[in-house]
Structure 1
């Protein structure tokens, strides 16, 4: 006998306060201090707010679950619907508190959420108490474990742990595994312990340990600071001579009033600014190394612009620093660059240097570097000084004993330095940078013994068991602190390499990973690792320690493992939420080698299994990379097969009482099509999920991608995520015809649209208009994916691509009146511009109306063979709806906008009260037009429709209070 699991419907399968979640996810992107994302860089990390809300909502029962379990085919009465709406509003309130960054450590808020999860779990256990596996599957005193099989940057398992679950995280990538260990495994192991290292006295990181109660991760974080400060001081003793201060001379100050007060002073150098060089291709100057500088601008601050000016004398040149207006420095912006790519001009002869010549010189080992300027800290701000032979000589004479020799992949899409002879990861560091990084690597090994000795002295267990063997004593603690010291060094490499640019607006060094690639850079900034600024190990360490301070240190230890999602069994009977790779967007493994080569050097003895390989494993990585697989077709087939297998394991293993949630990140180009949200990656991913045996029960669009330089302006950037809510499809699922599928869509989607746009009577709609076209995919794909197949007329199964087109078409075919349908389609084609009468005539006939009829309704101007829609400002102020014999919804909406903009919510409420029968369809039209305008980039129009939508509840309230449908002054402009 087969016992069916009784699984209550979860909140995430019915409703979410999506707008509130997205608002907090967007706000979180600007938070840096103490945010877990600052522990170590990872690509496309989920916002904590989104992850926390999704996990909570997939574990909490929706208020409708009891009725729907007992009456699956019956329509619930209105009083029950009202009761559910009230209960959902209470759950929405918990979510809205939960997602706020300020509440991420608020135990009162977290306990309320944990209690709600526990209550829902006890309800589920009670339902299944007679199940033969109840003791294993349904223990009311023990929540199921949680697993993320594509853990990446660790945001999802971290939030599961914060919500009281035992979090399991796995990933194939060892850098991701290390990040997750540092976030969810190590902190609980060593929580609530006092630091063991000697307190920092005098300079360096402040120490506040007198009488302090070291709660949570505070003691661990303080030891990271203490031993990191020792390392920094020791490194300065060993290699400080490579980073000398610079003395301001009279010669430097000549013509520079800003330097006059600094003459004779020795200033700390913040950065050295270099340009790569090649021999001039002009025979007359073949012996001269000429600069390949994309820009000579140093500071673009208004009123204090600073730039490099090359001064040529015979067959030699030097760089001088000028200070003046932005206009004076305008020519400096382009440096010696002629056009995109490796195209420059010779500084000496002004003749072009073609890219082929630069390729040849660089790959022959003849590309060098020339110091252009020195940036120093004056005490009153940063000053720019000309290069000196001494400063340049110190840098060029540095002789490192080791550098990483792992080759960069030959994939110009993500890696362009190999085209110019920089073939290994070690080649993209200057000799001085390599010495500094090697010194810190050595010091991490040295300091580990010191930490273990201090821990034993402080009374910690001396059992000799290392962290990798499950130890919790002094040896394991030394390993744990070493991990964070190595992570800080790994963070430092991102801003301590020869591909870091100088930011002229903020006058600072910017890190390499401004986007998901390692691009070539011609002029670069080399920072001072002892400069007390970005690029200093102490600064990197301090920022990381702030994040460590805020990590949850619950008694429920996280468990992290290196595992392939296609073969793992960790998900067995666990709640699963995960963020898989995005088709071909990001080459995680290739990019991770940049960090891996340094982490392996420092942590191979601490985490021997994790860093056993020379580089990050790549063969099994689920990314569709044509360069690795030979063609686009083979890459897609690899992705499809692997992702289907990974999803199949989740469908089989995940705890049967909970839906599985899966993030899919859209690229911007995937949301720009006229037919809606379609793309190769999206369709391929959905196909894999459905083929794996999952049925979708919901999809929720979330703005989870960082809107900063990691995306990259003008690139095919990640725009937003869809969270897919999935349950295993029954093995005996039926098949239906295309006609039956469309009929069911027409039954399901209107109610779903209403749920998404109206919500629970709150002041704000739960789904913002911009997200609607993606959100509607959820209920549509729920219909499609619950069947074994939807059969076309020829008997072949319908494709995901076809299903998406049918679902996307829904928003464009709402049941508007014929005049409104004409206006909607005309607006899509022409906006507010003019079109030909013949085109308008054809379109009106297709919609069952006429140009003259639409003109009579007062929404178009049609004269002299041209037709255009009237804007809301053109509508008459003396309009009276009760005497308007032809009143399309289009006219109602735009009159509503006109009055709202002149008389606010009260005036708009009286308009709505006068046309109450058309209120709901007017709201739907506003949503449709907002989505259309947002996609088309019509910001002003989109704003007008969005104002109506976001104020709809207030307008409805005003309509209900209106004394009557008409007031004498209602439409006075």
Structure 2
């Protein structure tokens, strides 16, 4: 007896505009966002995860009619129901509704209603008791849990949530996100109230995770106070003297005051390559300390007698010293000019000195906290630092991964975690790490004194009493130390921007960089890079974003290729993106510190000296002996992992898989392709999945645009997959193309017109159309080429991409399309234009009459939209190709706005569809060519299309659709 699986909403329709708007907006939200719990790379927005899981769980209203609402007699009713579900999603994705119980309750009720419907359909099935219990929702699982966004949102929607990952840092983050909060919800804090906080200032509502969050703050405050006793002497203040004020009149009002130093600024040094000089040369890459208007500050170098280099601080910078933003840097990383003799090093010399001799360092400036902002002082004003004790480097002296792309600092001699920190930073981090252990012991005693119920088992053993609670608090304190480490290495630089002057974190990007000037913060201050700020961020996340789980959560270390956790669960996951990020290599930076504090809590999780790397599913050439071997490793491993999901996932639900489509290449007429994307799709289909949809979800900021030769998309692609039938047939290439020609026109029309979804933007169309195209390809056991060989995914993608590029426009427009592809807006030869025009059934003279080209003196060029006449009349124009109509629409939109464009469209309603189709076609062409500005014009027209249509009385005549050649 077959399982009856109603189509889910995500297999038919999504309110993409609402999801994309919320996901893009979320990128700028920090206060209370789970991403501030601890750094992890390439997290999915919560809004997208929440919407995808909801739509994955909820039945589409048209499923009763079989193949979707289009074929049913209740099309209108289904559309109304679908709009109701859209409204739930639109409310659900808003950041303000993250903890809105009324909104969440509506979503959970809808999920349960769909589940009961599905159970009713399958109540006679032999596995009904096992798989279709109407009183219990299936659990969810993310086998590549990473930063935990998907497991957290599944839990928020009422599903018991399982998160697994190979990486211990990711598992720890997920434990803090989904496992610990519900276990200790509703408990009052046990820690003593800090002396600087009055009892009446505390709220007494300890529901959800408020008590846990308060204890994180209390024991974090205790750690800061204890650290001040132990290492406070290493961070001396600066007393302003009369002598300083004589040099710096702006300090006169501060004489005899002690200023807290919030950052010590340093530069690395090497010996000059010039044998006649041999001085220690600073590798300063900028002299700018502050570019804030009215509060500028610069380092001003001067060489004194005996080769001494002075660095003073001034409000102005001498023009004869050149550009202050360049410092002594004279080229790519590692090329500097000697301050003493002006010799310029080579990068190789700097690297050799770094590796063979080692880099030195010298102080450059102090940043102090003033009454009205930052005060910059020369380093010589420092009171000096007492001798810093040696630290136990156990676990900190492992080798950083030999990853040439993501671990840049190795090129210049920083080879171990311990070498990434100054002696003072190492001592501070070791101190805070040991204080985590002490805070756990203190919390354990306080919890026992408070009578916390439960056994004495630890957290890893599933305990819930005083011991487990203390270890749970310790997990968040250890994560705070990890976050502090991100702001406390010699890879941190000083941000001198006009808006903010602060310490830049180590991971400004997905790599361990090399910095030549670095900033060492004061962990005990109240300013940039301090330790307690990390405690406050984690407390806020715990209180505001992790407190409303309606189900349990479990986080486990497991290899996705062999795990059995997925059995009978709803799967939504975000796998590694081919070779985009070296997660394990980068996470070692945090692993070594978390291990120091959490190995007693999670001995199995932190048993190894470094994060596991051998089985990590990324295509890393340096690990596997080359690019081809790395691709084979990724394909084989990802196929096993996907097969695991296909076999284990709950049969009533599709599997949703995110893929960030970023590493694209442009290859002529083949369209946009990507080795990572093709290899990943190959793995998914080889694993036994068939695709039932692909959705471009906006997960990057909306201001990104295409660059030359690249495809800088603003989206991740969500693949919607179901297990392919075991008896799936094979078809020929001819049959496959015939089916594409039958299905893709309707799919393209629905995507560009809006249909049951919001219209897909041109920037996302080439990815969205993959869904219906690959749904056809992946339903078959194989599509056979003429020689009998199975068609590759790459070939299928090329055929689908070609579909977007062969539209049937009028002859003049066909000429313009091909000329534009060859020449752009540049001038070309009349003879070449004449030959092309004849081939397209037109003439250069006719094109001049159309008003789309200019021709003189043996030369021809296309007219830009800004050159077209503003008084153009479509009613009286005797020859109006779609090219002219489109560019007149762009002119009207750019010069006079949507209303004017709509009024123009109302005068030529029959051209609406061809104009819109041509805009999509030209966007695709410009994207492939890397013509960003031109692509923007076409994208903006389509983005404004709804508003234009509202201003137009008549529009929407369906135009012709493209066909593929067999």
Task: Give the TM bin, normalised by the shorter chain.
Answer: over 0.9
SS in 1 for 2:330: strand
| Alignment partner, residue 55 of structure 2 | 57
Conserved? CA contact 1:299–1:305, under 8 Å: yes
Give per-residue Cα distances to partners, 1:357-401, cap 9 Å, x unaligned.
43343334442211111111112111111113864553x645334
Aligned pairs for 1:617-766 (under 5 A) are 617-667=612-662, 669-670=664-665, 675-705=670-700, 720-760=715-755, 765-766=758-759
Conserved? CA contact 2:732–2:786, under 8 Å: yes
State how far apart, in whole Å, the 2-side matches of 1:109 and 1:317 are.
Answer: 64
SS in 1 for 2:673: coil
Mark the CA change 1:86 to 1:714 in structure 2 (over 3 Å): closer, same or farther: same
Which of 485, 504, 513 is 1:510 aligned to?
Answer: 504
1:525 aligns with 2:519: yes
1:76 aligns with 2:67: no
Conserved? CA contact 1:664–1:723, under 8 Å: yes
SS in 2 for 1:87: helix
| Alignment partner, residue 294 of structure 1 | 285
1:869 aligns with 2:857: no
State how far apart, in whole Å, the 1-side matches of 2:272 and 2:949 are.
Answer: 74
Q: Which 10-residue stretch deviates more, 103-112 or 714-723?
A: 714-723
| Alignment partner, residue 132 of structure 2 | 138
State how far apart, in whole Å, the 1-side matches of 2:81 and 2:321 are.
Answer: 63
State how far apart, in whole Å, the 2-side matches of 1:846 and 1:735 are.
Answer: 39
State how far apart, in whole Å, the 2-side matches of 1:491 and 1:290 are.
Answer: 33
Mark the CA change 1:379 to 1:813 in structure 2 (over 3 Å): closer, same or farther: same
| Alignment partner, residue 778 of structure 1 | 771
Conserved? CA contact 2:147–2:173, under 8 Å: yes
State how far apart, in whole Å, the 1-side matches of 2:334 and 2:816 are.
Answer: 51
Conserved? CA contact 2:562–2:641, under 8 Å: yes
Conserved? CA contact 2:484–2:529, under 8 Å: yes
Mark the CA change 1:316 to 1:854 in structure 2 (over 3 Å): closer, same or farther: closer
State how far apart, in whole Å, the 2-side matches of 1:185 and 1:134 are.
Answer: 29
Which of 884, 891, 896 is 2:884 aligned to?
Answer: 891
SS in 1 for 2:65: helix
1:94 aligns with 2:92: no
Aligned pairs for 1:192-207 (under 5 A) are 192-202=186-196
1:306 aligns with 2:305: no
State how far apart, in whole Å, the 2-side matches of 1:780 and 1:225 are.
Answer: 53
| Alignment partner, residue 606 of structure 1 | 601
Following superposition, the deviation at residue 215 of structure 1 comes to 1.6
Mark the CA change 1:8 to 1:839 in structure 2 (over 3 Å): closer, same or farther: farther
The alignment's TM-score, normalised by the length of structure 2, stands at: 0.93
| Alignment partner, residue 114 of structure 1 | 108
Following superposition, the deviation at residue 347 of structure 1 comes to 2.2
State how far apart, in whole Å, the 2-side matches of 1:129 and 1:803 are.
Answer: 40
Following superposition, the deviation at residue 616 of structure 1 comes to 0.5
Aligned pairs for 1:188-337 (under 5 A) are 188-202=182-196, 210=202, 212-286=204-278, 288-312=279-303, 313-324=305-316, 330-337=322-329
Give per-residue Cα distances to partners, 1:99-138, cap 9 Å, x unaligned.
1111111111111111221121122111111111111111
State how far apart, in whole Å, the 2-side matches of 1:841 and 1:715 are.
Answer: 33
Following superposition, the deviation at residue 83 of structure 1 comes to 3.7
Conserved? CA contact 1:88–1:760, under 8 Å: no
1:375 aligns with 2:367: yes
Which of 174, 181, 184 is 1:180 aligned to?
Answer: 174
Q: Which 10-residue stretch deviates more, 489-498 or 792-801?
A: 792-801
| Alignment partner, residue 593 of structure 1 | 588
Mark the CA change 1:328 to 1:125 in structure 2 (over 3 Å): closer, same or farther: farther
Following superposition, the deviation at residue 521 of structure 1 comes to 1.4
Following superposition, the deviation at residue 455 of structure 1 comes to 1.1
Mark the CA change 1:713 to 1:298 in structure 2 (over 3 Å): closer, same or farther: farther
The alignment's TM-score, normalised by the length of structure 1, stands at: 0.92
Q: Which 10-residue stretch deviates more, 833-842 or 624-633?
A: 833-842
| Alignment partner, residue 964 of structure 2 | none
| Alignment partner, residue 966 of structure 1 | none
Mark the CA change 1:282 to 1:851 in structure 2 (over 3 Å): closer, same or farther: closer
Following superposition, the deviation at residue 566 of structure 1 comes to 0.2
State how far apart, in whole Å, the 2-side matches of 1:435 and 1:618 are.
Answer: 29
Following superposition, the deviation at residue 254 of structure 1 comes to 3.0
Q: Which 10-residue stretch deviates more, 319-328 or 520-529?
A: 319-328
Following superposition, the deviation at residue 934 of structure 1 comes to 5.4
Which of 755, 760, 767 is 2:760 aligned to?
Answer: 767
Mark the CA change 1:870 to 1:28 in structure 2 (over 3 Å): closer, same or farther: same
Mark the CA change 1:575 to 1:329 in structure 2 (over 3 Å): closer, same or farther: farther
Mark the CA change 1:209 to 1:457 in structure 2 (over 3 Å): closer, same or farther: farther
Following superposition, the deviation at residue 477 of structure 1 comes to 0.3
| Alignment partner, residue 11 of structure 2 | 13
Aligned pairs for 1:788-827 (under 5 A) are 788-827=781-820
Give per-residue Cα distances to partners, 1:624-654, cap 9 Å, x unaligned.
1111111111111111100000000111111
Following superposition, the deviation at residue 285 of structure 1 comes to 4.7
| Alignment partner, residue 29 of structure 1 | 27
Conserved? CA contact 1:667–1:719, under 8 Å: no
Conserved? CA contact 1:306–1:329, under 8 Å: no
| Alignment partner, residue 959 of structure 2 | none
Q: Which 10-residue stretch deviates more, 272-281 or 139-148?
A: 272-281
Conserved? CA contact 2:708–2:929, under 8 Å: no
Give per-residue Cα distances to partners, 1:431-479, cap 9 Å, x unaligned.
1111111111111111111111111222212621111111111111001
SS in 2 for 1:27: helix
Following superposition, the deviation at residue 941 of structure 1 comes to 4.5
Mark the CA change 1:361 to 1:930 in structure 2 (over 3 Å): closer, same or farther: closer
State how far apart, in whole Å, the 2-side matches of 1:878 and 1:282 are.
Answer: 70
State how far apart, in whole Å, the 1-side matches of 2:569 and 2:541 are.
Answer: 28
State how far apart, in whole Å, the 2-side matches of 1:714 and 1:919 are.
Answer: 31
Which of 134, 154, 158 is 2:152 aligned to?
Answer: 158
Mark the CA change 1:744 to 1:355 in structure 2 (over 3 Å): closer, same or farther: same
| Alignment partner, residue 581 of structure 1 | 576
State how far apart, in whole Å, the 2-side matches of 1:364 and 1:919 are.
Answer: 68
Q: How many residues align?
A: 949
State how far apart, in whole Å, the 1-side matches of 2:19 and 2:954 are.
Answer: 31
SS in 1 for 2:571: strand
SS in 1 for 2:618: coil
Give per-residue Cα distances to partners, 1:250-294, cap 9 Å, x unaligned.
3323342322211221100010011112233444554x4332222
Which of 455, 463, 479 is 1:463 aligned to?
Answer: 455
State how far apart, in whole Å, the 1-side matches of 2:353 and 2:557 are.
Answer: 42
Conserved? CA contact 1:699–1:725, under 8 Å: yes
SS in 2 for 1:258: helix
Conserved? CA contact 2:298–2:317, under 8 Å: no
Following superposition, the deviation at residue 13 of structure 1 comes to 1.3
1:402 aligns with 2:393: yes
Mark the CA change 1:617 to 1:941 in structure 2 (over 3 Å): closer, same or farther: closer
| Alignment partner, residue 443 of structure 1 | 435
State how far apart, in whole Å, the 1-side matches of 2:667 and 2:526 are.
Answer: 45
State how far apart, in whole Å, the 1-side matches of 2:485 and 2:295 are.
Answer: 31
Conserved? CA contact 1:285–1:315, under 8 Å: no
Conserved? CA contact 1:294–1:523, under 8 Å: yes
Conserved? CA contact 1:665–1:719, under 8 Å: no
SS in 2 for 1:469: coil
Mark the CA change 1:231 to 1:811 in structure 2 (over 3 Å): closer, same or farther: same
